[in-house]
Chains A and B, each alone.
Chain A
Amino acid sequence: MSKENIEELKDADDVQQGRRDFLKHMCTSSAAALVVATTPAEAVEAASNPDADTTVAEYFQGHFLLMSDEEKQKAIARLEKRYSAQYSKKTTVSNTEAPDGVLFGYALDIGKCIGCRRCVHACVKENNQSRNDPEVQWIQVMKMPKGNISFTPDQLEKGYPEKSEFGDYGVQVGGNAYKTAGLSTEDAQNYYNDELVPDKDFFYMPVQCQQCEKPPCVKACPVRATFRDHAGVVLIDYNWCIGCRMCQLACPYHARRFNWGEPQLPAEEMNPKTHYFGNRPRMRGVMEKCTFCVQRTREGRNPACLEACPVGARKFGNLLDPDSDVRRVLATKRVFRFKEEYGTYPKFFYYIG
């Protein structure tokens, strides 16, 4: 890194006046380079630099929710500039507020779901996840055997303790006692590789962030990088997350994904219409998860997974509006919440149509 870069950094508008002296001492020149990376060549070089995702000014920015409007604008402009250079296309980072009087909810028909996983891939495409090595997926579809509750006759007399003078059979361990019953994740296959779906002996249950009303992840986060917005969606400030993964530990739905390495997002596959809390490209070492496509739903559109569903198993809407799709499902269908016993009050409902 040349001296000029540091000189230019001093004059960069992005860097706030008060922080300048501090920066002069603190910043490494490689990180400083990104602030001035405007030509594509520089941008490419910067993008290949592992530290390139954090410009110096970005590094010192506070929690987005605690910023003043002016600071927010600056932060957004900074990100737009960086992403546009990094992915060589005009990228917008939106800061649309959540609408008032709205509580977003989701309903999914597990009777209809055919396990095609189009939602999974639509989500990856929409939300700019890492594409390969590893591909990060926010939706996980569980393939569950239909015969969950069936007891097999040949197992009737199996088990331990063996038949006693009382005439009871293997009531404690083994035999049919080993078969899980009811809706259990025990026999679920999460990585099935079928040519054709649906498999007639199975049903499918997609799981993504359940947008809990009482989210354990928000409680566990030591820096409040994750929080619930007033429309009920749990979001993450990727620039504030410290990567401690306490939220991942707390989540009973296995909904959160961590960027273990540098996310691999090819420029041509990058979706340039982004939101600060939603699908903007993430950096290494931070948590991410389903946001109900905050970049779409805050503008009145449907989430990408819903649009991709070929059988209409997914419904999205405002829980406060009695005429919304979700409310109609809640009123007329047999509805349950996943892992209710955790007391997290998900706003993601499963129903059998």
Chain B
Amino acid sequence: MKTALSFARDFSSFAIKGGRMYYAWLLFLAFFILVGSYTAYIQFTQGLIVTGATDQVTMEAFFANFVFTAHVAAAAVLVVAPGYFYHRKDLKELAVMGEVIAMVFVATGITFVLFHMGRPDRTWHIIPGLGYMNFPNSMLAYDTIVLNVYLLLNLIGVSYILFKKYVGTFHEKQLALWFRPIVFLAIAWGPLIHIITAFVLASNARVGMWATAVLPFAFLTMAGASGPALVVLIFLLTRRYTNLEIGNPVIDLMTTIIAWSLGILMLVFAAEFFTLLYPSTEHADSLKYNMFGHNGLNMYVPWFWGTILALVSSFIALLFRKVRHSYNRLLPLVCFVVFFAILIEKPMILIFPAFSPTPLGEYAEYHVTLIEFFNVLFVWALGFLFLTLILKGAIGILTGEVRHEKSSASS
């Protein structure tokens, strides 16, 4: 118990220490949290009417961002898996960072879902026993289960690894018997949360754009691109500003995964667009609206082509060795573009245009309101704040800067 307390104390005191840039970053996040608390208050007292959602386009920016957080959370296993499946030692060391990313992004996603709900105060209705969960019918019930289990698995994994390393007893032979199965389960669970999230969308026959068998594949490939893109950015920052050493081979593996994922994503998009556009039935209406607009409603058109262009050009860029090895200039830029392109893809291609035409033939545009925008930033800022603090503390433990007094005294 005492050790746990000192763990918490040492961990957090290291996490909040940093240079001027670090504080500037935290302050930057704090600003959006401050503004966001106010806008969140407005939303929770006045209802979702303050967002741009309507009965025609009923999913808002929160839902779109939730899908994206699921991308990144699922993809974080790509940091964990090589270490445990292929015994890559360098990645096994870093596995805990992947788990932290997964944990924080799942939590961020759940927060987005709470913003999405009309009655977040009634969340307890879905807890079996206390309320009633429509299992096994409702896809959202499955999603609730897999997301929360994934959060729990990663929470257990992260705290166990970090604590063991903190007290200095993280050796193969001294690990608890349950630890390895938990890690492997978490690795399998990553894609699972993503497939289920895809099914939440694909289960709606009415939304032609989603009722497609390639949706889970599209999600997984986009996860494989956006997640490692964030991981590369984090690793590059980490090795630049902290004492943790991350070798080039680790970065290269991540870059390879991004390139492959983007390549497969091209195929998935091509398959989807072809299947819709060649017969050009009513199922293609949403896509046509997205690509070319409809009777003057064309706000999504530039977003569509811009996103596709960004994804294709990042894919081509990553085919060049020079770009892949330009660790300080081009690679972070490409990763940034991939991350943002896929983030933008969610509302502007996947979610909003899919609602037009509505079942009664209406076309509608979605305009994100300022309050909604700041609420999205609020959740992101919260997510990145926790990500920064936990990663910082974890790095301290990985480098040995944060150690239990007894073990540090002996070393």
Which residues does A use to contact B, with CB under 8 Å?
50-51, 54, 59, 62-63, 66, 140, 142, 173, 184-188, 190, 207, 216, 218-225, 240-246, 248-254, 256-262, 284-287, 339, 342
Contact = CB atoms under 8 A, between A and B. Distances in A.
Interface in B328-363: 357-362
Nearest to A173: B280
Nearest to B280: A173
A207 to B, nearest CB: 6
A243 B118 CA distance: 4
A142 B360 contact: yes
B242 interface: no
Given A142-B360, A190-B360, A221-B138, A261 B49 contact: yes
Contacts of A250: 203-206
Nearest to A258: B55
B319 interface: no
B206 A244 contact: no
The 6 closest A-B pairs by CB, nearest first: A243-B118, A285-B118, A185-B361, A261-B49, A260-B49, A222-B140
Contacts of A221: 134, 138
Interface residues on B, range: 35 or more
A50 B46 contact: yes
B58 A185 contact: no
Interface in B33-63: 45-51, 53-55, 58-59
Interface in B201-239: 203-207
Contacts of A186: 357, 361
Contacts of A245: 58-59, 118
Contacts of B53: 260
Nearest to B142: A222
B361 A184 contact: yes
A27 to B, nearest CB: 12
Contacts of A286: 118-119
Interface in B54-110: 54-55, 58-59
B126 interface: yes
Counting chain A CB atoms within 10 Å of each CB, which of B55, B59, B357 scores highest? B55
A227 to B, nearest CB: 10
A244 to B, nearest CB: 5
Counting chain A CB atoms within 10 Å of each CB, which of B123, B144, B362 scores highest? B362
Interface in B272-326: 280, 282
B194 interface: no
A205 to B, nearest CB: 9
B118 A142 contact: no
26 contacts: A50-B46, A51-B45, A142-B360, A173-B280, A185-B357, A185-B359, A185-B360, A190-B360, A219-B137, A222-B134, A222-B141, A223-B126, A240-B125, A242-B122, A243-B118, A244-B118, A245-B118, A246-B200, A250-B205, A254-B359, A260-B47, A260-B48, A262-B47, A284-B47, A285-B47, A286-B119
A188 B357 CA distance: 11
A260 B119 CA distance: 11
B121 A59 contact: yes
B346 to A, nearest CB: 16
B117 A62 contact: no
Contact of B140 (A66, A246, A251, A258): A246
B133 interface: yes
Contacts of B121: 54, 59
B178 interface: no
A44 B23 CA distance: 48
A246 B117 CA distance: 10
Contact of A220 (B51, B116, B140): B140
Interface string B113-131: 0001111111101100001
Contacts of A248: 55, 58
Contacts, number: 147
Contacts of A187: 361
B164 to A, nearest CB: 36
Given A244-B140, A246-B200, 4 more contacts: A140-B360, A220-B137, A261-B48, A284-B118
Contacts of A54: 121
Given A220-B140, A221-B138, A262-B47, A242 B359 contact: no
A224 B134 contact: yes
Nearest to A54: B121
A290 to B, nearest CB: 14
Nearest to B143: A222
Contacts of A62: 131
A92 B141 CA distance: 35
B204 A249 contact: yes
A146 to B, nearest CB: 16
Given A216-B205, A254-B55, A260-B48, A222 B360 contact: no
B279 to A, nearest CB: 11
Nearest to A184: B361
B183 interface: no
Contacts of B139: 220, 246
Contacts of B362: 190
A259 B139 CA distance: 23
Contact of A257 (B49, B55, B359): B55
Contacts of B203: 220, 250
Given A140-B360, A251-B206, A259-B47, A285 B126 contact: no
A223 B131 contact: yes
Given A223-B131, A284-B118, A249 B138 contact: no
A286 B118 CA distance: 6
B116 A244 contact: yes
A339 B205 CA distance: 12
Counting chain A CB atoms within 10 Å of each CB, which of B48, B134, B144, B207 scores highest? B134
A240 B133 CA distance: 12
A223 B133 contact: yes
Nearest to A238: B119
Contacts of A259: 47, 118
A19 B59 CA distance: 35
A89 B103 CA distance: 52
B361 A242 contact: no
B132 A223 contact: yes
